[in-house]
Amino acid sequence: MLSTVLLSVLALTVTSVQAIWPIPDSISTGNSTLWIGEVLLVTYNKEKIPWIRGYIPAKFTSQEIVKGGVSRVATNILDKNFVPWKLYPRLQLEKTEPALWKPKTYVSWLEIIQTEPDTPKTYKPLAGEVDESYNLTVTVKGKATISAVSSTGVLRGLETFSQLFYKHSQGPIYSSLAPVKICDSPVFPHRGVLLDVSRTYLPVENIYRTIDAMSWNKMNRLHIHATDSQSWPLEIPSLPELHQKGAYSQGMTYSPATVAAIQTYAIQRGVEVIFEIDTPGHFGIAALSHPDLITGWGATPWSTYCAEPPCGQLRLNESKVDPFLDKLMADILPRVAPYSSYFHTGGDEVNFNEYNLDPTVRTNDSEVIVPLLQKFIDTHHARVRKAGLTPMVWEEIPASYNVTIGKDVVVQSWLGDAAIESLTAQGHKVISSNYNYWYLDCGRGAWLNFAPGDSFADNYPFGSWCDPYKNWRLIYTYDPRAGLSDEAAELVLGGEVAAWSEAIDEANLDTILWPRASAAGEVLWSGSVDAAGENRTQVDAAPRLAEFRERLLARGVGAEAVQMTYCTQGMDGNVCLFQ
């Protein structure tokens, strides 16, 4: 009998310390049980709001955003929860979960207090313009309180509140963590996922599901790489021929209504969408509708002219390019500006050899090409700024091509820590997608085919260009600010994990992203060190990530396993420690 009691207390204590992902700034919990059900008083700044499922905000107001968040939390707590048998020691679930026959104390009131009014920037902020911090308390008598400066902070607190609860093996929902006191805020203002919807079209429900999972991880930027040389799925009403000739198939496009719906769905969950139309490279598909604007389409051997087939870049000295881009941007930018403060103009992997084929350039000499690139970027970024948006570029624009960019431009770095050090030394604001750590498509084998002969032998056993596979443990080790001075570190706004879709589609998207992106999510929200200055370790993270993965599954996201059940039962990261 005594051993059973001790086991129960141990299970509750271990679980209570490790319940939340990403881990908050500070958290204290107890071991008193509370239940939660269909009846709950919810107030927002003293006004009642419904504890119901399925509420969709009608507009972008603080109360509507919060009402939507409360409704989704109600669904996740009451309907999409999980029985935590994988977290308890072997065969101990029924002995350690709370007894149904005992008197129950229910969470009776969820009080939400927003201390400052939202502004239009709350829903489409530049990095650092919205306060996402929150405080959460839950008493043993069933009173829960969330206080935050902004509605976005309320959403973060609601997500944490939802992670306090589990499903009983007999059905009811409970938490054995009361009393709870949490104070929390993010370390980085930009915490993102890049989805490539051009190499492989992703149905919109997959994008919605990714946004949901991001919000549960407290990630706040979805970067949609919308077009590339392989396909043009983005409908541009003023230039319909782009998608009519460039989409993979009829219906594999994103209409203006769909683009607006994606952005609205994201804002309701505290996520800002950043669209990218890559220029001047990665633009080959436009040759199907505008051949006079493109150089290198169909060029062979492709490896001489581009990073992957098919090749194709905008011509750099063609008089028709500027009117085309004027028309393109005049169409898309006003449809983005109400929902985002950024637009990504690309700029990566511009192959100078391709300009040997450009009848308006006819050379790969950088002394000729770089001034043309400078003029191109100056003109293109002026379009973005005119629409009230801040440009983003890939790092090659300033770092490889020596093109001068404005101080407002955010540079996305993917080539490693040395590049970040150099960019910040020049005063650039940076987000990191270091391919050595945060490229989720890497390490899964080559997607190209190799005919018998030298290429077969040279590339055997057909690994990817960026091996190894970036498992969650490797992802968790990466700190985008590591090794930088304090001044340089301030310029690193955060980062994005990238899912380039040469071999990713709707069938494997979830397992590619989750829970590996969750590991980056915790690094970006919580930082790589704890409040005592100690480095966070995978030994501490593994049990919490295994638990969070169960929540992802319960909520409909097909996240891959963290460890076998032997390692997760008992929530002790030392059980499967290498020796």
Of 111, 349, 421, 506, the catalytic one is 349
Which residue, 272, 243, 240, is CA-closest to 60? 272
How far from chain centre, in Å, is Cα 349?
A: 23
The burial of 401, by beta-carbon neighbours within 10 Å (0-12 exposed, 13-18 middle, 19 or more buried), is given as middle
How many helical (H) and strand (E) elements, i.e. helices and strands, does the chain have? 21, 18
Query: Between 256-267 and 204-216, two packed helices, what is the crossing angle to 10 degrees?
Result: 10
User: Cα separation of 398 and 50, whole Å?
Assistant: 51
Residue 539 half-sphere exposure toward CB, CA atoms < 13 A: 6
Annotation says 272 is catalytic: no
Tallying the residues shown for the chain, one arrives at: 579
Pairing outcome for strands 313-314 and 134-138: unpaired
Q: What distances in angstroms separate CA 380 from CA 179, 256, 316, 329, one per listed residue?
A: 55, 22, 12, 9
Please check whether residue 137 is in contact with residue 180, taking contact to mean a CB–CB distance below 8 angstroms.
Answer: yes
| Residue 169 near residue 94 (C-beta atoms within 8 A) | yes
Token duo for residue 349: 């992997």
What tokens were used for 520? 């980056």
Cβ atoms of 332 and 325 within 8 Å: the answer is no
What CA–CA distance (Å, rounded) separates 354 from 350?
A: 8
Tokens 């169909």 appear where? 298
Q: Give the pair of three-digit tokens for residue 270.
A: 């505290």
Active site residues: 349
